[in-house]
């Protein structure tokens, strides 16, 4: 049987989500917790890879078991996992060939920015105390919707077979005292969201133009874009699967 965990985590407590040997990562902690509970080695497969510092309100990991669960996995798993990770739901895949990564049809990210110093937002959002032209940001976000090729926003050595992404949402929104960028697509390239945010911020500050932003997209050259915004402002917010593929237990 293929079981699926929906988890959330504080990315600042881990060196990314994907297993990297003995380096503390989200996936390593999940594997260790499940192996302890079931007293047999368990290897999970993650839906989305997040970099060091990046948070997740929703990420999925699947694993296989021959036996049905006879424990409250959410309760017992959360008791073992470190404070930076929590299991939100336990599901069973209705298709035994379900893959948490390849069956996802959409992913949504949110990048949070604040302009006035706030100690309670440290490591939770990007402190960016600069004047921004909101109209310019909105127009840049709308331009992104016109394209499907995003090689300029993929970090080097990403090993992607294609740089095409179908963008379903791209907009800025005011959320209290924070400014958020929300983007949803069928897939994302390595470093893509941070590249989109950092490059749009240049437009918002007036150091680049909307025409210049278009030129960066069309250049298909990552050296033309900027990626210099911190990971801790970024949240993997949602992952969407086709209806009926997961059954909560």
Residues designated as active site? 51
How many DSSP H helices and E strands does the chain contain? 5, 10
What's the rounded Cα separation, in Å, for the pair 244 and 95? 9
3-state helix, strand, coil in the chain (%, to 5): 30, 30, 45
What's the rounded Cα separation, in Å, for the pair 96 and 71? 21
Contacts of 56 (CB under 8 A, 6+ apart): 7, 8, 9, 11, 17, 26, 48, 50, 235, 236
CA angle 74, 77, 82 (to 5 degrees): 125
Q: What does the CA dihedral 85, 185, 51, 212 come to, rounded to 10 degrees? A: -140
* CB-based contact 7:73 (threshold 8 Å): no
What's the rounded Cα separation, in Å, for the pair 227 and 225? 7
Coil, strand or helix at 119: helix
What's the rounded Cα separation, in Å, for the pair 41 and 162? 34
């Amino acid at each position: 049987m293929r079981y699926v965990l929906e988890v959330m985590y504080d990315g600042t407590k881990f060196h990314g989500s994907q297993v990297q040997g003995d380096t503390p990562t989200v996936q390593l902690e999940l594997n260790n917790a499940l192996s302890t509970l079931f007293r047999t080695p368990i290897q999970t497969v993650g839906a989305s890879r997040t970099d060091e510092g990046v948070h997740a309100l929703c990420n999925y990991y699947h694993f296989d078991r021959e036996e049905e669960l006879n424990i409250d996995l959410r309760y017992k798993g959360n008791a073992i996992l470190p404070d930076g990770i929590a299991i939100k739901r336990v599901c069973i895949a209705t298709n035994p060939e379900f893959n948490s990564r390849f069956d996802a049809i959409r992913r949504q990210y949110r990048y949070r920015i604040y302009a006035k110093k706030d100690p309670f937002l440290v490591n939770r959002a990007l402190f960016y105390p600069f004047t921004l032209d909101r109209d310019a940001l909105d127009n840049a976000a709308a331009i992104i919707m016109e394209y499907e090729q995003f090689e300029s926003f993929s970090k080097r050595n990403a090993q992607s077979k294609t740089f095409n992404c179908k963008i379903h949402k791209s907009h800025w929104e005011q959320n209290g005292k924070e400014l958020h960028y929300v983007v949803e697509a069928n897939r994302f390239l390595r470093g893509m969201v941070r590249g989109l945010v950092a490059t749009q911020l240049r437009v918002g500050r007036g150091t680049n133009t909307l025409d210049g932003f278009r030129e960066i997209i069309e250049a298909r050259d990552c050296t033309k874009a900027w990626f210099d915004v911190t990971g801790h402002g970024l949240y993997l917010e949602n992952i969407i699967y086709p209806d009926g593929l997961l059954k909560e237990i």
